[in-house]
Every structure is written in structure tokens, then in C-alpha cells.
Amino acid sequence: MPRRGPNNGGDKRDRILRAAVKIFSRNGFFNSKVSEIARASGVADGTIYLYFKNKDDLLISLFEEKMGEVVADVRRRLAAGGSAIDKLRIFIENHMDLLERESGLVEVIMVELRQSTKFLKDYTPVKFFEYLEVISDILEEGKREGAIRPDLNVSVARRAIFGALDELCLTYVLSGKRKYHPSVTAAEVCRLLLEGLCVPGADVGKG
Amino acid sequence: MPRRGPNNGGDKRDRILRAAVKIFSRNGFFNSKVSEIARASGVADGTIYLYFKNKDDLLISLFEEKMGEVVADVRRRLAAGGSAIDKLRIFIENHMDLLERESGLVEVIMVELRQSTKFLKDYTPVKFFEYLEVISDILEEGKREGAIRPDLNVSVARRAIFGALDELCLTYVLSGKRKYHPSVTAAEVCRLLLEGLCVPGADVGKG
DNA sequence: CTCCGATGAATGAATCTCCATTCACTCAAG
DNA sequence: CTTGAGTGAATGGAGATTCATTCATCGGAG
């Protein structure tokens, strides 16, 4: 009884997505076979095409749906309140911590999103932009509170912050997760971003 | 006379590499055909295999040799002297400026290097590490001069700096080079890195 | 209640396309 | 004549996608 019948339990689509995360993160999109994903999700090759238009669509759905969960989750954590600086800290810690909770997903996003954003025609990474929005929101709030420089260019800063975190996650993953534990790194980056590289009060030659 | 004969002028290998940069940056590694690169470099398909072991090797050679030139070039610019802070500024401006001078190369490195570092067995991006070394050297020098916080974790900071720059370059490229001119962005990032996000003297709640 | 045809989810072998790589051959130069 | 760089058509393998087929389930008829 548990094997056949239409839409056996309704979890097939999700099983496929989860398997895709695993396979894509292990081999990369181009080196992953649809048949591998089928095997890993306990489904026939053809079944994947009942739920996704094609291999590209599988990857895009993965980005949007899983990234959507990540955005919703971090928004929930931030809603708890606190100052903008607190929130930035929470955001950063949460980002680095994703590596432990959802390492496969983070790896796929880090490594494949660029490729896809650049080469897949008519794909806009909507949920990824939302993630960047979360950073903007925090920075703007910080300005209002007077904690963050009012002349900060938020749209450059949010990219810089994301880029820094992303690169550090990548380092962690590529090192076989041996160097720089996420929580240690998070603290270090927080300080770098908040205080900068210089010794307090040093003349930096503005301009 | 100019068409036939062994190693016609000795520039074939370089023509192939240059064409590869163009094609890979346009289509991505996996969507590029070896025959396209052959056509673009005015060479037969088989000729490519006289100079490179296979398609992967072509990409790796491209990374190492072109990146090597980039490293040598930035080192030359930095040798001029100045304070560590000046040098960091030069480094950042140079990095962002590469997008104008060598956009194809920068795009290939940004988009393909991650894939390759992660999935190509036994490939260590030596020249890329050297590029990171350049940042470390500047930061260490800054510590010695007393301009940079002595407790800064250099190996986290250099990755964060690279990541920030890389992401900003990517944004510029993906926006069709319409948003955030490199030189403007460079100035903004410099300030972010040197002074941080906060208003001077603000309490950040260290620890 | 039982039987039967309709439905459509699921399957996975077969197909179809694509492309990296090879290699038998060409020919300029020494 | 010999050498070997260069060629590009042919090959072989891979893997995305298709589709004819299977079978659990369901609803209506008897």
C-alpha cells in the first residue's frame, strides 16, 4: 500500500528538492545527473519531470523555495527586537550558523547561484534580493537610531557585508570545515564591520 | 608564410587562452564548446589539445597564468611605497579597476573559480592564494605601523575584504555595468573597511 | 457489496542530441 | 626525405528528456 497510487503522500516534490540539494552540493549542478537525483529521492527519472519543467527549473525552484525559507526564518529571529547593532550581530551569526544547520543548501547557493544568475536567461533571484533587503533594513534602522553613519551608502554596504560573509562561509567549506569555526568568524566579522580595520581615532585621511 | 609551419610565431597558446577567457566569460565553462574556443582563436579543434591536456586543464591554466599576471601587476603598483593605508586604498582601487581593464578575466574568475576550486580534484588555486597574501601583507604592515588594530585577525579580515570586493564586482557586472561605477564603489568600500559602519565613538558593546 | 472502466501518477527503457577527444592525414620547413 | 605542428571529420560516451506502459485508486452500475 505505501508504494503505489497517485501522489503517494504528497511529499514527492519535497523529497526531490531535498535530494537535489544533496546531489548538487556534492557534485555541482553540471556534474549532477537527473538520474542520480531520482535515485537519491527514491523516485523514477521521469517522475522528476512531473514536478519540474527540466533540470534548470529544478535548480531555480530549489533556490527560490529554500532561500525563501531562509529569509522567513532570519526575519523571524530579527523580529524579537533589540537595537540595529544587535540585529546586525544576529544576522551575521545566523548566516554563519546556517553552515551547520543547512550546509548543503548554503553550498549550493554559494557555488551555483552566480553561475545561474549570470547564465540562465530570464531568471531573477527574487529571494536572494530579499535576503539583501534584510541587511538594508537593518542598516537603515541603524541610521535612524543614530548608531550608523548617516552618509553610509546602504546599497554598497549591504553587498559588501553579504560578500564578506559569503566568502568566509566558502573558506570554511573548502577547508573541509576545519578552519575558522563559524561562531568565531562571526564575532570577528562583526567587529570588523562595526569598528573597521583601524585603531580607534587613527587618522585615515578621509576623501 | 604566415599560415603554416610548426608553432606559427609561438603565439598560438596565448591566442587560445585569450579566446578561452572571452568564451568562458560569455557562456560559462560548461556551456562553452571547445570548438567555439578553437574558432575564436583561429585554430583547429585538435590544436587546443597540443597545448592543453583537456578542457579542464585549459581553465586551470587560464586561472593560474592570468591570475599570476594580476598578482604581479598589483605587487608592482604597491611597491611604489606609501603607508599601509595608502596601499590598501591602491589595492582596492586596482581590484575594482580590473573590471574595466580585464572584464572578461575578472568575470571568469568570479564565476568559475568557486566551481573549480570545489569540484576539480587536485586543483589548488595557487595564484589566487597569492592574491590573498597581498592583502595579508598590507594588513600586517599596517599593524607594524600602528595604523591597524593589533588584535585584528588577518586571515579572517583578508577573506572578508576579498569577499566584499568580489561581490561588488559581481553586482557591477550583473547589473550590465550600469550601477555603481567601480571608482565610486572603491571609495565607499575603503571607508567602510577603514572606519566601519558606526558613527565615530559610538558604543558598540565590545565582546 | 462487487465488479469494471476510467483516471492519472509513476515508471524506466529507449531515444536523441550534443560535444570532448582522438587520430589518420596534410604540408611547410629544414 | 623526414619531422612534427596543425587539422577537422569521425567517434564514443554521456545524460537529459520522452512516452508507451503499468497499476493503484475511485466512482458508478448492477
Q: What is the pLDDT of residue A205?
A: 58
Q: Look up the domain containing B77 and give its range.
A: 60-195
The angle, 0 to 180 degrees and rounded to 10, between the axes of the packed helices B126-145 and B154-174 is 120
DSSP SS3 for A198: strand
Same domain flag for B124 and B147: yes
CATH at residue A66: 1.10.357.10
Same domain flag for A39 and A83: no
Q: Which residues contact B100 (CB under 8 A, 6 or more apart)?
A: B182
Q: What is the pLDDT of residue A79?
A: 96
Handedness of CA A189, A191, A193, A196 (dihedral sign): negative
Q: What is the pLDDT of residue B202?
A: 64
Report residue B121's pLDDT band, with 50, 70 and 90 as the boundaries.
Answer: confident
Q: What is the pLDDT of residue A203?
A: 57
Q: Residues B99-118: what's their mean pLDDT?
A: 95
Average pLDDT, chain B: 91
Indicate the number of domains in chain A.
2
Same domain flag for B27 and B94: no
Are B24 and B56 within 8 A, CB to CB? no
Subunit contact A149:B205, Cβ cutoff 8 A = no
Q: Which residue is nearest to nucleotide C29 (CA to C1')?
A: B5
Q: What is the pLDDT of residues A29-47, one digit of tens each?
A: 999 999 999 999 999 999 9
Q: What is the pLDDT of residue B9?
A: 47
Q: Residues B142-154: what's their mean pLDDT?
A: 96
Q: What is the pLDDT of residue A81?
A: 81
DSSP SS3 for B198: strand
Q: Which residues contact B103 (CB under 8 A, 6 or more apart)?
A: B25, B173
Given a cut of 70, is residue B194 above it in pLDDT? Answer: yes
Given a cut of 60, is residue B8 above it in pLDDT? Answer: no
Same domain flag for B167 and B101: yes
Are A167 and A189 within 8 A, CB to CB? no
Q: What is the pLDDT of residue B58?
A: 97
Same domain flag for B96 and B177: yes
Given a cut of 80, is residue B175 above it in pLDDT? Answer: yes
Same domain flag for A100 and A40: no
| Burial bucket for residue B4 (CB in 10 Å: 0-12, 13-18, 19+) | exposed
Residue B5 included in any domain? no
Mutate to test the interface with A, among B25, B83, B111, B114 (most CBs of A within 10 A): B114
As a whole number of Å, the CA-based R_g of chain B is 20
Residue A204 included in any domain? no
Distance CA B89, CA B147 (A): 14
Same domain flag for B64 and B45: no
Whether A145 contacts chain B with CB within 8 A: no
Q: Which residues contact A186 (CB under 8 A, 6 or more apart)?
A: A92, A93, A95, A96, A97
- Other beta carbons within 10 angstroms of residue B149's beta carbon come to 20
Q: What is the pLDDT of residue B42?
A: 93
- Distance, C-alpha A115 to centroid of its chain: 15
CATH at residue A43: 1.10.10.60
Subunit contact B196:A199, Cβ cutoff 8 A = no
Q: What is the pLDDT of residue A4?
A: 37
Residue-level pLDDT, tens digit, chain A, 207 residues? 333 344 544 688 999 999 999 999 999 999 999 999 999 999 999 999 999 999 999 999 999 999 999 999 999 999 998 999 999 999 999 999 999 999 999 999 999 999 999 999 889 999 999 999 999 999 999 999 999 999 999 999 999 999 999 999 999 999 887 888 898 999 999 999 999 988 876 656 544
Subunit contact B149:A195, Cβ cutoff 8 A = yes
Distance CA B172, CA B144 (A): 34
Same domain flag for B72 and B100: yes
Same domain flag for A74 and A14: no
How many separate helices (H) and strands (E) can be counted in chain A? 9, 0
Which A residues, 89 through 128, put their C-beta within 8 Å of a C-beta on chain B? Answer: 107, 110-111, 114-115, 117-119
Residue A87 included in any domain? yes
| Burial bucket for residue B124 (CB in 10 Å: 0-12, 13-18, 19+) | exposed
Q: Residues B147-155: what's their mean pLDDT?
A: 95
How many separate helices (H) and strands (E) can be counted in chain B? 9, 0
Given a cut of 60, is residue B56 above it in pLDDT? Answer: yes
Q: What is the pLDDT of residue A9?
A: 45
ipTM: 0.91
Same domain flag for A92 and A36: no
> Of A142, A151, A190, which is closest to residue B188 (Cα–Cα)?
A151
| Burial bucket for residue A204 (CB in 10 Å: 0-12, 13-18, 19+) | middle
Residue A185 included in any domain? yes
Report residue B204's pLDDT band, with 50, 70 and 90 as the boundaries.
Answer: low
- Other beta carbons within 10 angstroms of residue B126's beta carbon come to 12
Q: Residues B121-127: what's their mean pLDDT?
A: 92
B34: nearest nucleotide, CA–C1' criterion: C20
Same domain flag for A32 and A105: no
Distance CA B25, CA B105 (A): 7
Same domain flag for A110 and A75: yes
**A116 C-beta less than 7 Å away from strand D:** no
CA atoms within 13 A on the CB side of A94: 19
Given a cut of 80, is residue B98 above it in pLDDT? Answer: yes
Distance CA B12, CA A165 (A): 41
CA atoms within 13 A on the CB side of A131: 25
Given a cut of 90, is residue B81 above it in pLDDT? Answer: no
**B28 C-beta less than 7 Å away from strand C:** no
Residue at grid coordinates 523555495: A65
Phi and psi for B198 in degrees, rounded to 5? -80, 160
Given a cut of 90, is residue B72 above it in pLDDT? Answer: yes
The identity of residue B99, as a single letter, is: L
Residue A2 included in any domain? no
Torsion angle in degrees (nearest 10) through CA of B193, B197, B201, B207: -90
Share of chain B above pLDDT 90, in %: 81
